[in-house]
């Protein structure tokens, strides 16, 4: 049994959300639910409003395109849109302006129109025109003076491809949907923004250097296999040389710390050599002075 696919129901719901302005009343100005159809009535046979159970022999909606032949299912693949009139952005928008805009987008082969096979519409309420992607027909019957017909290639409804972008773009263009605020443009480049004195260096180069430095700092001294050692005479190379010399320095300090470097005799001689005789005499206690004098007298008379 022919049924409406979810992707066309989504288009229908989108249009009714924004073009059925007063949802609590039926008004000529609004696009009412009864004016947006997908599945043909029970007596409808042949064409995109019918699924595989209602197509006819040599049905144009099947035989004229491989996209339709391969996509034939029980889904209807068409959408009718009735009359409406809304004010937005300082202008009045109607079925006529809507249809003309849609046909122009299809004629320009906009990316979001490529699943549309045809649009049958009236630009002025007096003549009927048809935009046909396959170039088969240019007009339609007089019922399209009062509604616009969209046919979608059947493979698009079979696949369930989203058909709302084109219609959302129209509603955005007339101001009923607020445009999405574009994100700030960001330059997609790996070049460094700041001047480091090396104009050809990239972010990747810097990250590699940081990783290299990390490896040197967390690895034991003299670890082999690390790439890009520090340059000769660089601060890091000097630090590395100090680290390598550290064990020998510690051993020397430990060895020296166990030695007695005090030479008392040399200290006394040095002190005495710098003093005049009277100062030396003043520093000698009286008894020791008498003992020294006696000893000197003895040696002189011996």
pLDDT in tens, 186-209: 556 676 677 777 777 788 888 877
- Percentage above 90 pLDDT, the chain: 57
Of the given ranges (64-73, 135-144, 255-264), which has the lowest mean pLDDT?
Answer: 255-264
What six digits make up the tokens of 249?
Answer: 């320095």
Q: Does 190 or 71 have the greater pLDDT score? A: 71
Q: Tokens 């009412």 — which residue?
A: 32
Q: How high is the mean pLDDT of the chain? A: 87
Q: What is the pLDDT of residue 186?
A: 54
Of the given ranges (125-134, 144-153, 195-204, 263-272), which has the lowest mean pLDDT?
Answer: 263-272
Nearest-angstrom CA–CA distance, 129 and 40: 21
Q: What's the pTM value of the predicted model, to 2 decimals?
A: 0.62
Closest CA to 35 of 99, 81, 92: 81
Contact 165, 113 (CB under 8 A): no
The whole-number average pLDDT for the span 134-160 is 96
Of the given ranges (91-95, 101-105, 118-122, 264-268), which has the lowest mean pLDDT?
Answer: 264-268
Query: What confidence tier does 131 reach under pLDDT thresholds 50, 70, 90?
Result: very high
Is the pLDDT score of 219 beyond 70? yes
Of the given ranges (112-121, 166-175, 266-275), which has the lowest mean pLDDT?
Answer: 266-275
Is the pLDDT score of 185 beyond 70? no
Is the pLDDT score of 1 beyond 60? yes
- Exposed (0-12), middle (13-18) or buried (19+): which is 20, by Cβ within 10 Å? buried
pLDDT digits (tens, 9 = 90+) for 10-62: 999 999 999 999 999 999 889 999 999 999 988 899 999 999 999 999 999 99
Is the pLDDT score of 5 beyond 90? yes
Q: Are β-strands 129-132 and 85-88 bridged in parallel, bridged antiparallel, or unpaired?
A: unpaired
Q: Enumerate the domain spans of the chain.
A: 6-174, 264-301
The whole-number average pLDDT for the span 63-88 is 97
Nearest-angstrom CA–CA distance, 235 and 260: 38
Contact 75, 5 (CB under 8 A): yes
The continuous run of DSSP H or E covering 120 comes out as strand 116-121
The whole-number average pLDDT for the span 256-278 is 71
**Count of CB atoms situated within 10 Å of the CB of 130:** 17
The whole-number average pLDDT for the span 237-257 is 80
């Amino acid at each position: 049994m022919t049924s409406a696919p979810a992707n066309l129901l989504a288009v229908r719901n989108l249009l009714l959300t924004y073009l059925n302005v007063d949802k609590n009343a039926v008004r000529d100005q609004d696009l009412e639910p009864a004016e947006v159809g997908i599945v043909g009535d029970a007596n409808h046979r042949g064409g995109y409003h019918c699924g595989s159970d209602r197509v006819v022999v040599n049905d144009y909606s099947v035989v004229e395109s491989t996209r339709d032949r391969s996509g034939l299912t029980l889904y209807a693949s068409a959408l009718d849109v009735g009359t409406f009139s809304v004010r937005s952005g300082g202008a009045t928008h109607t079925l006529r302006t809507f249809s003309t805009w849609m046909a122009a987008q299809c004629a320009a082969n906009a990316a979001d129109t490529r699943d549309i096979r045809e649009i049958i519409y009236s630009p002025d309420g007096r003549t009927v025109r048809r935009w046909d992607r396959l170039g088969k027909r240019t007009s339609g019957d007089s019922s399209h003076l009062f509604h616009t017909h969209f046919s979608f290639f059947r493979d698009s409804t079979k696949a369930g491809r989203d058909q709302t972008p084109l219609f959302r773009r129209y509603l955005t263009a007339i101001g009923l949907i607020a445009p999405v605020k574009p994100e700030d443009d960001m330059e997609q480049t790996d070049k460094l923004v700041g001047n480091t004195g090396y104009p050809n260096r990239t972010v990747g180069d810097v990250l590699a250097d940081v990783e290299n430095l990390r490896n040197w700092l967390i690895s034991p001294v003299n670890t082999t296999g690390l790439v890009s050692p520090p340059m000769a005479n660089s601060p890091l190379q000097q630090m590395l040389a100090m680290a390598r010399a550290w064990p020998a320095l510690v051993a020397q300090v430990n060895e020296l710390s166990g030695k007695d470097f005090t030479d008392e005799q040399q200290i006394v001689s040095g002190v005495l050599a710098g003093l005049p005789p009277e100062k030396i005499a003043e520093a000698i206690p009286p008894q020791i002075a008498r003992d020294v004098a006696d000893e000197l007298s003895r040696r002189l008379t011996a």
